[in-house]
Structure 1
């Protein structure tokens, strides 16, 4: 007999398939729906455009009373991502008290996509990344590409770069300016209240931007 979390995740999965968010792909890899894999692609007009990052998402039977555990498998050189573990630091993932049962799998993935392209520079977890970004954005971009290329080579996934580029050219482009107007202010767990967005506390907030 399936638990409550199973049916909630089925509903989340159906929402994702119906909305078909640009640059986001996810699917369960376990029969009980507790283990997921995802790919997030950087937004247009940002230094992350054209890059693809793989993630794992682990849910428990207590979902959606508690947040899942999220880790980047393809770890970005990013102010708000732990370079060793691949863990993204986002308020409602890092602190269960910040979690809201209105949040869904869509909420998590869209927030990660925004944080990727619009890092919170106050109280970062990767000090080297934030220093490089603030001093020389062009060099930061080169470092991102170099580290990503090295990581894919180590994993034997060099073909992924070609596949990612092909996929990125085929999807509908979303400008960062338009995206930011809707999702600005979403913060990491290390940021102050000033950066937290009230949009995340609105049920079905994803519909504000991604309407078909």
Structure 2
């Protein structure tokens, strides 16, 4: 059943594919168009540069009238990101408008990485360090940037090993099929 929210999400996805904003990517999961996975690349010339940060977006049937629930899956050290990955961003709360689409959400979050709002902190330590000890703040951000590389490297390794296992399983199944067929061919040849 196609609902207005699902049609809108299909349009959002098409727009992201046809005209992708720099440094962000997102797509619905195979299970549901209402559940998206996204990646934001750390903006250049910021402490987040070179980071690769994963997020999830959960939509309800009230979208676009209500914002999605957006969370970082990747570990994040930022004044406006809670420990559970939830994001304190006005457009995801009281400043939401149905005109915002997935591309606007992701680019707004990417901008937030560079321009945090320490006056509305979700992480008080990050906000305090951002205001009072920028060197320590950036040191901690660099650590999570490195962690973002490691998590992607681990996932790629797991994906490769899973793909390799699937390939070996396919080969094994093919060999079993061939072995099961050989007696049939042998019997037919000896009969004929």
Query: If the length of structure 1 is used for normalisation, what is the TM-score?
Result: 0.67
Q: How many residues align?
A: 157
Shift of 1:134: 2.2
What are the superposed Cα offsets for residues 33-73 of structure 1, whole Å, 9 maximum, x if unpaired?
10000000111111111111100000011111111000100
Equivalent residue number for residue 26 of structure 1? 26
CA contact (8 A) 1:30 1:36 kept: no
1:5 matches 2:5: yes
What are the equivalent positions in structure 2 for 1:172-183 lying under 5 Å apart?
A: none
Equivalent residue number for residue 138 of structure 2? 141
CA contact (8 A) 1:74 1:151 kept: yes
Moved more, 109-118 or 133-142: 133-142
Question: SS of the counterpart of 1:37?
Answer: strand
- State the structure with bigger RCO (CA 8 A, min sep 6), 1 or 2: 1
1:116 matches 2:110: no
* Stretches of structure 2 lacking an aligned partner (at least 5 in a row): 158-192
**Which structure carries more helix by proportion?**
2
Shift of 1:121: 1.7
Task: Give distance in 1, aligned partners of 2:131 and 2:110.
Answer: 20
* Stretches of structure 1 lacking an aligned partner (at least 5 in a row): 164-212
Task: Give distance in 2, aligned partners of 1:162 and 1:139.
Answer: 31
CA contact (8 A) 1:74 1:148 kept: no
What are the equivalent positions in structure 2 for 1:90-169 lying under 5 Å apart?
A: 90-95=89-94, 98-149=95-146, 157=151, 159=153
Query: If the length of structure 2 is used for normalisation, what is the TM-score?
Result: 0.74
What RMSD over aligned residues (CA atoms) do the two structures have, in Å? 2.4
What are the superposed Cα offsets for residues 121-164 of structure 1, whole Å, 9 maximum, x if unpaired?
213121110121223323222212324545776xxx2616999x
Task: Give distance in 1, aligned partners of 2:156 and 2:11.
Answer: 33
Question: SS of the counterpart of 2:22?
Answer: coil
Question: SS of the counterpart of 1:56?
Answer: strand
Shift of 1:4: 1.1
What are the equivalent positions in structure 2 for 1:198-209 lying under 5 Å apart?
A: none
Equivalent residue number for residue 164 of structure 2? none
Equivalent residue number for residue 183 of structure 1? none
